[in-house]
Amino acid sequence: MLKREARLAWGLLLPTLAIVSAVVALPLLAIFWISFKPIGLADLRPPAPVVREALRGSDDKLRLEFRVRNSSQTEPISGVTLSDRLPDGLRVVTADPRCVFDGADFTCDLGDLQGGARDRVELFVTIEGDADAAENAAEESAPIVTGQSNSILTNFEFTLDNFRRIFSGDEFWGVFGVTVFYTVFGTLGALIFGLFAALLLNKEFRGQGILRGLYLFPYVAPVIAVAFAWIILFDPFSGSANALLLQMGITGSAINFFGERPLALIMVTVFEIWRYFPLSFLFILARMQSIDTDIYEAADMDGASPFQKFWYLSLPQLLGILSVLFLLRFIWTFNKFDDIFLLTGGNAGTRTLTVNVYEQAFAISNIGAGAAVAVVVFCCLVVFSVFFFRFVSREEGL
Amino acid sequence: MNLLRHGYVTGPVLGALWLVVLAFTLAVLMSFTTGDPFRPALLISVLAGAVIGGGVAAMRPGPRGAALAAGAALAALSLPGLAPIAAGDGAGAVWRIAGNAVLGAGFGGSIQMILHALPGAGALTRHEFEDAVIRFLTGFGYIFFTAIVAIPFYVMVMTSLKNQSELIQNPLDFSIDLSRGWGLLRSYVELFADFNFGSYLWTSFYVSVLTVLLTLAFSIPGAYAVARLRFRGRAVFSRSILLIYMVPMIVLALPIYIAFSMTGLRNTIFGIVLIYPVTTIPVALYMLQGYFRGLPAEVEEAGLMDGLSRLAVIWKITLPLSLPALASVSLYVFMIAWNEFLLAFMLLDDPSKFTLTRGIASLNSSEIPRQHLMAGAVVATVPIMALFLGLERFMTKGLTAGSVKG
């Protein structure tokens, strides 16, 4: 019975396991592999021979010409061969000595092709029958070229250059500091504002449902929509925020909110708080509503003041959910990418580790370095989650 | 602290703070609706608020009396340079006087509610003092949160209805010229006619629906196995779900980009439909297993006793019982897929295959006027908001069940 149950369990889990390991585990392994490779964006396509076929010349100069070139400018391709079928209506007069015929099929052994090198195979032919048809047939048939090249992605050549590169200089520690600032203040801010909002809505009144729905908007709306709305709102030239501040006399000249250090970092952190306070608010509110009201009545009898009740009764009860939220939000804020990417693109001192992955891999086209940063991010995550499980399994039994 | 807890101190201090808050709010509100320059006068607000607050604390009028008196007082004061809401050049005097009268009435009524429990003059008990402060903070909180949430969305909608030159001329003017009629919606019409947004909308919709279906198909059996069946490695398994849920997408996106580039899956909807469910399956697994655990096992055992197989029990008993949870999970997964940006941005280059979020990203260029960008943002936001408001109960449940993530 038990055995059958276990078998059924694995049966039910198998599809999920398969797909998750294919898309999570394999990429994780891949990222470790790539981080030790000297690889750029351009190396993603391994060097391959490229061929063009044409019927050229006329009369006794009439020839079927194959032009072969190496797609890579630097990497050699070895053992290049070209094979095709001679179209009907053509007869070979003299052939390239490297080609061997087997009826209408032929194979030419071209040897090695250096980086950026070109080669040409000529078969002098005569046309028997309709010239146009033969020409079309010649150009339609697709010749097959093969060759072995050394792909950086799959060979066993490793390097530590990527790590050396990202850890060298002050840049890494700058990025790391920005990440820590963003994560710590983003998380704490979202928690504090969430707690405040939850306290506001933890009572029955008309319109409570509407307000609760409204306060969840920032989290539910697509990040791209709200990020662009913020950019437009805080635009230095035509943003409403600047116009308001100018008109109220708070500032003398327009402020470039997302373009100045250290204001940009503060702004992206504020955005993070704005976008995620609804989430903490929702969790804290759910926990608050499950607190037994008896203790508050007892406290009222004893003459406790409202602040005392909050400090000595509510807060200890909320401590569990607050710490779980803190840890989870800390991890996910650390992992956050799209918000900063959309708001500043990592400029003006807002480049966090995750944005740096993208920057290195796609902006500088150095996939290896990007992967190395990703490995660093992943290692931080492992440390956090060890901490998380040791702490949280005691707290909330997740 | 003890000095603060005195009727003649608490009243004026809270009054001053409250009037500053209200004056600020109303000035911003009036600027945003009329486009005329209004600003709060800080010093006058503090003084007037303190005087009225002190008066209310000392004389203890009824709510109507306080509102009338304060409204009349501020309206009478609203000469240039004397009122809490000051107007810049070109702002209408009618607006200014009306604004100040409304401010005064609102302020009088609300400060009376904040202070009404104070026993007039003399020292206050801790209880009375803190109650007043909490009422002040509550009022402030409602205004603050509503403002910070509403303003960006308001700006988004209003920008989409205007045109570039109007926006640059006066960034504060969100008033809408209703005489333009349908012309107001010009940027929306252009989005759908020239920028192919109809097709993006459709792509986003069916990709999201497919994601929901695939996610459920994979996660229901998995969640059931983890929640109900006994097998070795169950504990490890249930924990590793959460762990996977924590892996940052950008770490995975890089190898996925490489793999998709090499296999030709990049730039295909098939690739997107392949990858989206994988990002949502861990969430769904986590949410569903929690719900399955909460279902009474006895019902299922009764089914087993009656000779149903395990799979039949799942199909005929467990699933019908968990319909609300399935609704929550579906909604939440739909929201994730609909809002997803990073993968769509990295994997799709061909404009004919864009999802809505990718389409909006392509509008972000200096050649395309910003009302189009904002109209695109509205188009992406409205469906998910409508869904959210219509099914708020499920949505909220879904959010609390599985989503510390975002």
Task: Let me know if residue B294 belongs to a domain.
Answer: yes
| ipTM rounded to 2 decimals | 0.90
- Give dist(CA B372, CA A317) in Å, integer: 48
Give the tens place of pLDDT for each residue, A230-270: 999 998 888 888 888 887 777 778 888 998 888 999 999 99
Q: Are residues B143 and B214 in the same domain?
A: no
State the nearest Cα–Cα gap between A34 and chain B, in angstroms. 8
Q: A31 and chain B: CB distance < 8 Å anywhere?
A: yes
What pLDDT, on the 0 to 100 scale, is given for residue B209? 96
| B114 contacts B132 by C-beta, under 8 angstroms | yes
Number of domains in chain B: 2
Residues forming CATH 2.60.40.290 domain(s) in chain A? 47-149
Residue B186 belongs to some domain of the structure: no
Residue A149 DSSP label: E
B142 and B234 fall within a common domain: no
Question: At A206, phi and psi to the nearest 5?
Answer: -65, 135
Task: Examine the pLDDT at A341 and tell me if it is beyond 50.
Answer: yes
Of B141, B153, B226, the CB nearest to A217: B153
Domain identity same for B259 and B326? yes
pLDDT value at residue B404: 43
Fold classified for A162-395: MetI-like fold (1.10.3720)
Query: Number of Cβ pairs closer than 8 Å across A and B?
Result: 282
| Cβ contact, residue pair A224, B377, below 8 Å | yes
Q: Tens digit of pLDDT for each residue in A154-207?
A: 677 777 878 888 788 678 888 999 999 999 999 999 999 999 999 998 888 888
Least confident of A133-147, A275-289, B216-230: A133-147
Q: Check whether residue B236 and residue B143 sit in a common domain.
A: no
Q: Tell me how close the Cα of B220 comes to any Cα of chain A, in angstroms.
A: 9
Average pLDDT of the residues in A73-88: 79
**What is the secondary structure of A332-356 as a DSSP string?**
HHHT--HHHHHHTTT-TT---HHHH
A-chain residue closest to B331, CA distance:
A220
Correct CATH for A47-149 of 3.30.1370.10, 2.60.40.290, 3.30.9.10, 1.10.357.10: 2.60.40.290
pLDDT tens digits for A3-45? Answer: 888 888 888 888 888 887 887 888 888 888 888 888 777 776 6
Q: Could you tell me if residue B188 is inside a domain?
A: no
- Nearest CA to CA, how far is A267 from chain B (Å)? 14
Q: What CATH number does the domain containing B338 carry?
A: 1.10.3720.10
Mean pLDDT (chain A, rounded): 83
Q: Are B211 and B277 in contact (CB under 8 A)?
A: yes
Nearest to A191 by CA among A290, A287, A296: A287
Q: Residue B292 has what pLDDT?
A: 86
B187 part of a folded domain: no
Closest among B5, B38, B8, B9 to B24, alpha carbons compared? B38
Touching check for A226 and chain B: CB below 8 Å?
A: yes
Question: pLDDT tens digit string along B225-245?
Answer: 888 888 887 877 777 777 777
Higher confidence at residue B115 or residue B200? B200
Q: Are residues B221 and B115 in the same domain?
A: no
Residue B148 lies in a domain: yes
Residue B96, pLDDT score: 78
Q: Is residue B41 part of a domain?
A: yes
Name the residue of chain B whose CA is nearest to A342's CA. B361
Give residue B398's pLDDT. Answer: 62
Going by C-alpha positions, the residue among B314, B312, B40 that lies closest to residue A249 is: B40
* Mean pLDDT within B311-319: 87
Q: In the listed set B130, B153, B176, which residue is the last one of a domain according to the structure? A: B153
- Looking at residue A239, its amino acid is G
Q: Are residues B287 and B340 in the same domain?
A: yes
Report pLDDT for B12: 85
Co-location of B76 and B147 in the same domain: yes
Mean pLDDT is lowest, of A289-298, A386-395, B109-118, for: A386-395
The pLDDT of residue B146: 93
Is residue B299 in a domain? yes
SS3 B165: helix
pLDDT digits (tens, 9 = 90+) for A35-71: 888 877 777 666 778 888 877 777 777 888 888 888 7
- Comparing alpha-carbon positions, the chain A residue that sits nearest to B128 is A305
- Between CA B127 and CA B131, with CA B129 as vertex, the angle to 5 degrees is 65
* Position B294 confidence tier, pLDDT thresholds 50, 70, 90: confident
pLDDT value, residue A239: 84
Tokens 């020292």, residue located: B123
Q: Are B377 and A199 inside 8 Å of each other by CB? A: no
- Range of B22's domain? 7-153
**Residues B125 and B248 both lie in one domain:** no
Nearest CA in chain A to B384: A221
Position B178 in a domain: no
